[in-house]
Structure 1
Amino acid sequence: MTKEQLTDLTAKYLDGTATAAERKILEQWYYSFEGEELVVELPEGEEEDELERRMKAGIDEQNAKESRRKRLLMHIKPYRMAAAVVLVLTAALLSVFFSGRQVYNAQQQPRFVVLNDGSRVWLNSATKLVYTDFPFMGERRLSLTGEAYFDVASDPEKPFIIQSGSMVTQVLGTAFNIKAYPDEPFSVTVTKGKIKLEDKKTKIITFLTPNKQVKYANKQAPVMVAVKADMAYSWTKGQLEFYDQSFEEIARTINRKYNVNIVFANKSLEQCMITATFEKESPVTRVIDLLCKINNATYTFSADSSTITLEGKGCQ
């Protein structure tokens, strides 16, 4: 380094305008000095001893900063490692969560699905099912909105629990139909095995065996009746079978299946109770025509066929 370069770097260092690279060059030069005469052309007003003192103080300060930075990095590294471990664990848990959680939707048409545990489920139209089965859980938990027929794979170590609003259905291995559409009567029908049904609001617990149906309607006490169970899930085969259901409830089923709105001009028609069976994939005109004949009603379609209006004295 020439005398001029050294003088220039020294002046920059002292007034704080030296770059990081220039400071490093000067500091390396200073600590390589081994008693040889230090010859620097001083800025005006500077004494050599004072210059050396200031330079040493500045260099020591820079070294202290570097030492503090290294110590800080040493403290930060464990936190970085811990953060990395947390990220890995989070990723692993998310992987388990998404692999153990399945969401199924059926829109206009029924849908058949097989769950991770081997259980088979038929979803009716306008139905949503969320299935959760984590390795560390002692149960298989589901949430159902709509209607579904379940053929549950047996696993005594993991009960099969279905939540539908306030109603909780628990089984180990059996087959049954649940109807749990919003604003409609809730019902469960068992075809084989045995289930436990609990209403979380009223704390009422009911046990059902094959060909038994329990129904909650209009906030009344549950009613259990003997039924021909296969009628409850005939919809899985594309059929329409109604057993002692109100015309209003049947109208909602027709709306979901055929995407047609039904309007009751005479409200008394809504409460007519009906038992009827229709061939597979019967057209909506045949279904409505027969329902109206057995209930002393007439019907008309709107111009775009999206709405059916029912009139008549009905069953009263």
Structure 2
Amino acid sequence: MDTKDRPVTDEELLDLLEGMSERDGELWQQVKEKGLTDDCLHLRLLAAASRIGQEEPDVEVLLAAFHAGQSRKRRLRLRRWGLSLVGVAAAVLLLFLWMLPGGNGAGTGKEPLLVFASDSAALRSPVLQTEKAPGVQASADDGTDRPAVWVAKGPHELDYHTPANLSAYAKDLPERHSLTVPRGQTFKLILSDGTEVYLNADSRLVYPSRFTGKERSVFLDGEAYFRVAKDAGHPFIVRTQTLQTRVLGTEFNVSGYEGSDTEVTLVEGSVEVSDADRQRTVRIKPGEQASLQTDGGFAVQKVDVSQYIHWREGYFYYDNVTLLDIMKELGRWYNVSVVFCNAEAMESRLHFVADRRQDLQHALTLLNRMNKFTITQKADGRVYVE
């Protein structure tokens, strides 16, 4: 019988596991090219069980599941590729070894993986900076006789639209302002044109004290919800590091935290989303989200906009969202490091609602009630998902 048609025995798989080099670049490239991701996941479970010393019956169950998952269609494809089953198994096992402790990958389901880091130097209160007075705390009094260009309506709200007694300074050039919101807090701004901006935690908005010229332009680092005042003659533009959103008057959410995809979600009206150089542009409709891809194009999908409305009302709201994304948001809000000891739990999709005004333990208790995983904050202050 042709060795290409002979199934690989368990003993041969174990021999390959013992004898393969972890640095075999050629086999690793074959794995990537042949799309053997599903096989790798099964073998990853098998080897993880073997390395941590689980009992033999558990390993055999996992191995049997791996063999059962090999369909006839997959075997025929492997033959057409001209690779023996032994060669393919070697390639898959190489990838698996690469992902184990001591290799270069993200780790097994039991290897701790830090997905969000706390910041000991994080701000404790919002900070407003201007060109003339950098680093000044958000306040309506700048220590001079000149009237402020905003009215403080509370510790987390500034209004530039209805400042008092500014007629004497109407011809002055607008100041460049930058408002930074710390983790665990939100902030509301009313810009000089009446546009309302709700800044999420760990975000910064750069904007003029009043708009001049043909465009109303602001820069965002982080996440904000915009309710734009209508002005057909002066488009409103939100710029981030990677894209810009152009509107006349509408409601939308922009999320562009460092290390994450930049996403624009439309609640009402219509917006035009472009890359930073305006080489590619897409229009989205209410209920749609546009995100910039690595190839420079845009992906557009239908989403539940409730998530982007409820955060500014004081709630975590997630519908069919991965546990990884949820835990990153909890880490950012509560400024706590998050570690996954069970990497496979990252892709679990959940519906989850919690009050952001409650403490961290409240959110963790609700997550643990799902009985899908165990999430605890340990003595080192980190949150662990097991």
Taking the aligned partners of 2:368 and 2:281, their CA distance within structure 1 comes to 38
Q: Provide the identity percentage.
A: 27
Q: Deviations over 1:70-94 (max 9, x none)?
A: xxxxxxxxxxxxxxxxxxxxxx9x9
**How far did residue 269 of structure 1 move?**
2.3
Name the residue aligned to 2:269.
193
Report the counterpart of residue 247 of structure 1 in structure 2.
323
Matched, 1:102 2:177: yes
Instruction: Measure, in 2, the Cα distance between the counterparts of 1:222 and 1:116.
Output: 32
Contact 1:161–1:170, Cα closer than 8 Å, also in 2? yes
Greater RCO (CA < 8 Å, at least 6 residues apart): 2
CA gap of 1:216–1:247, structure 2 versus 1, over 3 A, is: farther
User: Which structure is higher in helix share?
Assistant: 1
1:276 paired residue number: 352
Taking a change above 3 Å as real, the CA distance of residues 115 and 216 of structure 1, as seen in their structure-2 partners, is same
> Match for residue 190 of structure 2?
114
> Are the structure 2 counterparts of residues 254 and 217 from structure 1 closer, same or farther at C-alpha, using a change threshold of 3 Å?
farther
SS at match of 2:353: strand
Q: Which residue of 1 aligns with 2:385?
A: 310
Report Cα offsets for 1:95-133 as digits up to 9, x if no partner: 5141xx322111131011111111001000100001137
**Higher-Rg member (1/2):** 1
Q: Is 1:165 aligned to residue 241 of structure 2?
A: yes
Q: Please tell me whether residue 174 in structure 1 is matched to residue 280 in structure 2.
A: no
Instruction: Tell me the equivalent position of 1:257.
Output: 333
Partner of 2:36: none
Cα distance, 1:244–1:220 mapped onto 2, change above 3 Å: farther
The answer on 1:286 being equivalent to 2:362 is: yes
Shift of 1:220: 8.5
Contact 2:192/2:210, CA 8 A, preserved across alignment: no
Shift, 1:181, TM fit = 0.4
Q: State how far apart, in whole Å, the 2-side matches of 1:138 and 1:202 are.
A: 18
Instruction: Flag the 1:202–1:196 CA change in 2: closer, same or farther, 3 A.
Output: closer
Cα RMSD (Å): 2.7
Q: Give the partner amino acid of 2:274.
A: E
CA gap 1:295/1:303 in 2 versus in 1, 3 angstroms:
same
- Deviation per CA, 1:42-93: give whole Å up to 9, x if none: xxxxxxxxxxxxxxxxxxxxxxxxxxxxxxxxxxxxxxxxxxxxxxxxxx9x
After TM superposition, the score normalised by the length of structure 2 is 0.51
| 3-state SS in 1 of match to 2:328 | helix
Aligned length: 217
Give the direction of change, closer, same or farther, for the CA distance of 1:227–1:126 in structure 2 (3 Å limit): same
Q: CA deviation at 1:144?
A: 0.4
| Unpaired runs of at least 5, structure 2 | 1-168
Task: Select which of 242, 267, 286 maps to 1:210.
Answer: 286
